[in-house]
Amino acid sequence: MIIAKKKMTFERRVYQMAKKIPLGKVTTYGRIARLAGRPKAARVVGRLMKNNPYAPMVPCHRVVGWNGKLVGFSGGKGIKTKKKLLLQEGVIFKNKKVDLARSGWQLSL
């Protein structure tokens, strides 16, 4: 008997991709949305990160806005805590945004 694999949900794909982001690197909500098969769902990815039931195994603080801006973090003191965590991990900032050229990570499937 052949058992059919269940199709992975968008939510599960998002969390699996976010889990792969290494220490000292970040990626964007939009990049995760594209790789998870819904290129226009960056806001949905943001909502999933906000409600992340798998923290800290899924490091939602390593997901940032398209331009490196720190947005949406519900842990601790919000954005201040997100920035503190990223700085502790070695993420490089330029002005008030993550320097994506130096700390960005290109997720792949």
Q: Is the pLDDT of residue 3 over 90?
A: no
- State the residue range of the domain holding 63: 10-103
Residue 2 domain-assigned (yes or no)? no
Q: Is the pLDDT of residue 5 over 60?
A: no
CATH code for the domain in which residue 17 is found: 1.10.10.10
What's the whole-model pTM score?
0.88
Q: What is the pLDDT of residue 76?
A: 81
Q: Is the pLDDT of residue 16 over 80?
A: yes
Cβ atoms within 10 Å of 36's Cβ, excluding its own: 25
Q: How many domains, the chain? A: 1
Question: Mean of the per-residue pLDDT values for the chain?
Answer: 90
Is 70 a catalytic site residue?
no
Residue with tokens 């330029």: 94
Q: What is the pLDDT of residue 93?
A: 97
Q: State the Cα–Cα distance between residues 52 and 99, nearest whole angstrom.
A: 25
Residue 47 domain-assigned (yes or no)? yes
Q: State the Cα–Cα distance between residues 18 and 6, nearest whole angstrom.
A: 21
Q: Is the pLDDT of residue 95 over 80?
A: yes
Pick the catalytic residue from 60, 63, 86, 100: 60
Beta strands in 22-89 (DSSP E): 27-28, 63-64
Average pLDDT over residues 3-8: 58
Residue 26 domain-assigned (yes or no)? yes
85 sits in the region (left: phi over 0; alpha: psi -120 to 50; else beta) called alpha
Q: Which residue has the higher pLDDT, 76 or 68?
A: 68
